[in-house]
Homo-oligomer: A and B are copies of this chain.
Amino acid sequence: MKKKINIKTLAAELNLSVATISKAFKDSHEISKATKERVLAMASTLNYTPNPYASSLRKRKSNTIAVILPEVADNFFSLAINGIQAVAEKKGYHVLIYLSHEKFDIEKTIVDDCNSGRVDGVLISITKETKTAEHIQKLQDENIPVVFFDREFEGFKTARVVTNDYECGYLAAKHLIEKGCKKPAFFSISSSLPICIKRADGFKAGLIESGLYSHKKDPIVYFTDFNQEETFNQIKKLVTGKDRPDGVVASVEKLAVILYLVCHEKNIKIPEEIKVIAFSTVDTAPIFNPSLSTITQSAFEIGKAASEILFKGIEKKNYDITNEYVVIPSTFFERKSSQQTSASKEKKIK
């Protein structure tokens, strides 16, 4: 067990004070060029690396940010992490990843921990269960900048980076209707998540505008449990039952995939019998059977933008980021799953 070398041993080795070493490392003007070189040289031969925790303690600065996600199963968050990492790396920051697993309790525990000086800022996408922002307020109270990305908490004043969910929901509805759908449905995973509400509201607005909205039959279908099999059966029932939808907008990728599986099993033709559009960042959509029309969020850009705002808040200490509100529009990729078919064409002509 060889002795850990620190700034003191370096100082002793060079017959300098620790203060000098420390200053030499940050290229202070107080230190002569010659001395700096000596220090650097010795540091490299001794394999010295400054202890980040001592430094953080003294400077009250961690050079670390936290990213709190509901889960990383989805491709969206993978891409977002890339975007975040890209700018963190450039700034010389470290990034801690936390998973809340869609549980509010876990989210709260994580957020509270972030309040300890461990991080200089936090990026968060809230869980489906999150109904209050008190825990996040506490972060703000301690002057730790927070920015929501993708999944925000409404009615709470913080920086946010989201996509144009309402417009996309609207666009999806109009598109399906234009392609001949009479009874489109919206598959949602939450009745409280703003991201889902907005998409659903936009969708509903499209229906209303086209005179296809009926209060008796809510076009929004909720899939709130996490069990894949359960969801599969639920969709199967819906899609094979009477009054089944002839078009579906899936609020998340997973629901579209399960819908595809059901249709394959039940031999229901997409898009002839049912048209599908999904909110999704999956890059394999073009090779689905049939290729899947997607509303694709710029996940990387969202992550990037969010962290850029965060760093503004971190670096400019008396700069208020809580008014920052960035909307990064998604793009619609029209593919076969929502194509007009001869069957629907005829109906339209009739």
Contacts from A to B (Cβ < 8 Å): 1-2, 4, 47, 49-54, 56-57, 62, 64, 71-73, 75, 77-79, 81-82, 85, 89, 94-99, 112-113, 115-118, 138, 141-143, 257, 260-261, 264, 282-284, 286-291
Contact = CB atoms under 8 A, between A and B. Distances in A.
Nearest to A290: B289
A57 B51 contact: yes
A166 to B, nearest CB: 27
Nearest to A86: B99
A113 B48 CA distance: 10
A23 to B, nearest CB: 19
B99 A49 contact: no
Given A47-B138, A282-B284, A289-B287, A97 B112 contact: no
B53 A117 contact: yes
Contact of A287 (B78, B85, B257, B286): B257
Contacts of A1: 143
Contacts of A52: 116-118
Nearest to A80: B72
A62 B118 CA distance: 11
Contacts of A97: 81, 85, 95-97
